[in-house]
Amino acid sequence: MEAAVFAVFAATALGSAIAVVAHRNPVYSTMSLVLTLLSTAVLFVLLGSPFLAALQVLLYTGAILVLFLFVIMLLNVGRERRLPGPVPAQTWVAGIGAVVLFGATARLLLEAQGGRTTAPLSEEFVATRSLAELLFSTYLLPFEVIALLLLVAVVAATWVARRPSADEEKTP
Amino acid sequence: MSVPVSWYLILAVALFSVGVFGALTRRSGIAIFLSIELMLNAGNLALVAYSRQLGDHAGQMVVFFALAVAAAEAAVGLALFIAIFRARRTIDVNRINLMRW
């Protein structure tokens, strides 16, 4: 059962990830990324982390990708035009590089794994309570720093994206 | 039958490689940004998989913080795209050569 669910959602994640990269229309790319992130959320549940799965759906697909869609519509980004002529060398180099990266890293990880087995999921590991306890004890400082980071990012984003004032526009 | 953790790791590496390919070949700034999000997501998947294997919550906490940083990064990055678009009327990275030698 678990293997079947894994197979379906791993295939969906990989297929839509390829669609993200292959589509020339940015709206389609974004919607494919939504599909990838949702399948990853299902995989998070399989890995015993329902809290992160919920966060992934709410935060990533719910907030960040809506922001992407807003910006795409705001800027009216069109389809990426195909360059004239044959496939550029950059594409070949990037393709070979990606395949080599995949092969090398997968081999390294598999070797490091070396037939290690995993204990079955325990009730205590899955419970959100244990995460919450960690978050407000061991990881309290990073938690506060993240809050500050988000505040700074919001202020910076509104400042960077504002309409430039009249005298700024005269002196570029 | 339980799925071995190494399958999740292989999937994460595959997603990451697809993201790398996209970030290197796409020309629209938004598309490059989407590829970067894809790589971030692959990293999160690997962290959760290791967290499962080791039975330790540390990996999940790192993913939690990575999600928050991704939100901040998306906000600032998209604001930069809006600013660049205002100034140059395009977000095609081949035509944004302000800082190129």
- Is residue A43 within 8 angstroms of chain B, CB to CB? yes
Name the pLDDT band for B101 (thresholds 50, 70, 90).
Answer: low
Per-residue pLDDT at B100: 67
Please, which residues 152-171 of chain A have a Cβ atom closer than 8 Å to chain B? 152-154, 156-158, 160-161, 163-164
In a domain? residue B38: yes
Whether B30 is in a domain gets the answer yes
pLDDT, average across residues B32-61: 92
pLDDT(B35) > 80: yes
B94 found inside a domain: no
Q: Which CATH class is domain A1-80?
A: mainly alpha
pLDDT at A169: 59
Query: How many Å apart are CA B1 and CA A12, to the nearest integer?
Result: 21
Q: Which pLDDT score, from 0 to 100, does residue B87 have?
A: 83
Q: What is the pLDDT of residue B66?
A: 93
pLDDT value, residue B96: 77
What is the chain B residue with the closest CA to A56? B67
Chosen from B27, B48, B88, B98 to mutate, greatest number of chain A CBs within 10 A: B48
The predicted structure's pLDDT at residue A166? 66
Which pLDDT does position A167 carry in this prediction?
62
Q: Is the sign of the CA dihedral B30, A64, B78, A135 positive or negative?
A: negative
A124 vs B contacts (CB less than 8 Å): none
Q: For position A137, what pLDDT does the model report?
A: 92
Query: Is position B99 within any domain?
Result: no
Under 8 Å between Cβ of B16 and B41: no
- Cα Rg, chain B, nearest whole Å: 17
pLDDT of B68 reads: 93
Which of helix, strand or coil describes residue B78? Answer: helix
Q: What is the mean pLDDT of residues B21-26?
A: 91
pLDDT of residue B85: 87
Residues of B in contact with A64 (CB under 8 A): 37, 70-71, 74
Q: Does residue B21 lie within any of the structural domains?
A: yes
Instruction: Name the residue in chain B with its Cα closest to that of A160.
Output: B79
Count the Cβ atoms, other than its own, within 10 Å of residue A135.
17
State residue A119's pLDDT score: 76
Q: How many domains are contained in chain B?
A: 1
pLDDT, residue A170, reads 55
Best of A77, A81, A83 to substitute, by most chain B Cβ atoms within 10 angstroms, is: A77
pLDDT band at B47 (very low <50, low <70, confident <90, very high): very high
C-alpha neighbours within 13 Å on the C-beta side of residue A75: 29
Residue B9, in any domain of the structure: yes
Which chain B residues touch A80 with a CB distance below 8 Å?
26-28, 31
The answer as to whether B98 is a domain residue is no
Residue B45 lies in a domain: yes
Average pLDDT on B10-39 reads 93
Token pair 């799965």: residue: A53
Whether the pLDDT of residue B77 is over 80: the answer is: yes
Q: CB pairs below 8 Å between A and B: how many?
A: 223
> A161 vs B11, which has greater pLDDT?
B11
d(C-alpha A4, C-alpha A125), whole Å:
23
User: Which residues constitute the domain of residue B35?
Assistant: 5-88
pLDDT tens per residue, chain A (172 residues)? 888 999 999 999 999 999 999 988 899 999 999 999 999 999 999 998 999 999 999 998 988 999 999 999 888 877 777 767 777 888 889 999 999 999 999 999 888 887 777 777 787 888 888 889 989 999 999 999 999 999 999 999 999 888 877 666 555 4
Q: What CATH number has the domain bearing residue B17?
A: 1.10.287.3510
Question: Quick check: A64 contacting B, CB < 8 Å?
Answer: yes
**Does residue A125 belong to the interface with chain B, where contact is any CB pair within 8 Å?**
yes
Token representation of residue A118? 């995993």
Q: What residues of B are in contact with residue A157 (Cβ under 8 Å)? A: 75-76, 78-79
Cβ <8 Å between A68 and B53: no
Residue A168: its pLDDT value, please? 64
Strand partners, B92: B28
The pLDDT assigned to B26 comes to: 87
